[in-house]
Amino acid sequence: MEKLVPGDPQRIGAYRLLARLGAGGMGHVYLARSERGRTVAVKLVRQELAEQEEFRNRFRQEVQAARQVGGAWTAPVLDADTEAAIPWLATGYVAGPSLQSVVSHDHGPLPERSVHILGAGLAHALKDIHAAGMVHRDLKPSNVLITIDGPRVIDFGIARALETVTDGGLTRTGALVGSPGFMAPEQVRGDRITPACDVFCLGSVLAYAASGALPFGTANSGVHALMFRIAQEEPDLEGLPEGLAELIGACLRKEPGDRPSLDEVLERTGAADALGDDGHTLDPWLPGALVAQLGRHAVQLLDAEDP
């Protein structure tokens, strides 16, 4: 979370901006507050994307679909203006760090039990996304937020809108969209995307959460080499506990039809009974040091809301 800088808007729609949360391929994300006092995350689309009619059309469709995603394991889409000069959308704010931040900077790999509960929560989130007729397409550690109550999935539907982006007049429709280390083989090959794509990405996310490493390595040797390994080679699951390795290995099968369903993933985690229906874990699921860090995040949020 960073302070606003000169050039940042003070308001977007009915929301007063409080701080910067981050930036990505689609635009900037801001912490904001509604007129009724609700804290939200507002994503403002980049100017160059806003100027592309094909992107606007897809963004409009995806926002409409994302509004239908229910359940307690995602950050819900609360508001949007897809017709504004610069389109934006507002989601519920999740007061917690990303899984990427937790593993790479703040704590390190999670304990086995925590990873099982993480997998169960993410499976619930993906079931809700799929029930709305969507495929996430870009499930990765930076799109998973960690809270005391359980994990939350964000940015569903965004990747598909970016498929329409043009660059220098050359269309990228049908081009690869996703994060190389967390893509499924069918994404790498440019094949049709189905919900099973998200199951593969879930396996990669759980491997990262448990080990701090990507199951097919990094792109240090080149993105194309990484994509070849995803499409053709077996994942490196060495060092993972046996139960986790079996679950993750099943998710990472090359053929979509060979992967488990999300209900089967839930059963294999052995953690379904640790989750409540309201998006809360029934028992503590994170190490004590990480719980303390989440408390510091809450204090930072209060400081931003009341400068």
Q: Residues 87-101: pLDDT tens digits?
A: 999 999 998 999 999
> In the chain, how many H helices and how many E strands?
11, 10
Provide the pLDDT confidence category of residue 220 given band limits of 50, 70 and 90: confident
What is 99-294's CATH number? 1.10.510.10
Per-residue pLDDT tens for 97-128?
999 999 999 899 999 999 999 999 999 999 99
pLDDT of 157 strictly over 80:
no
For 51, list phi and psi in degrees, rounded to 5. Answer: -85, -5
Task: Give whole-number Cα distances, 118 to 46, 66, 113, 149, in Å.
Answer: 32, 22, 9, 11
Average of pLDDT values for 34-58?
93
Q: Does domain 11-93 have CATH number 3.10.20.30?
A: no
Amino acid making up residue 8: D
Strands (E) across 127-241 are located at: 144-147, 150-153, 166-167, 170-171
> How is the chain split into domains, by residue range?
11-93, 99-294
Q: What proportion of the chain, given as a percentage, has pLDDT over 70? A: 91
Q: How far apart are the C-alpha atoms of 189 and 191, rounded to whole Å?
A: 5
- How crowded is residue 257: how many other Cβ atoms within 10 Å of its Cβ? 7
Active site residues: 138
**CB contact set of 236 (below 8 Å; sequence gap of 6+):** 213, 215, 216, 217
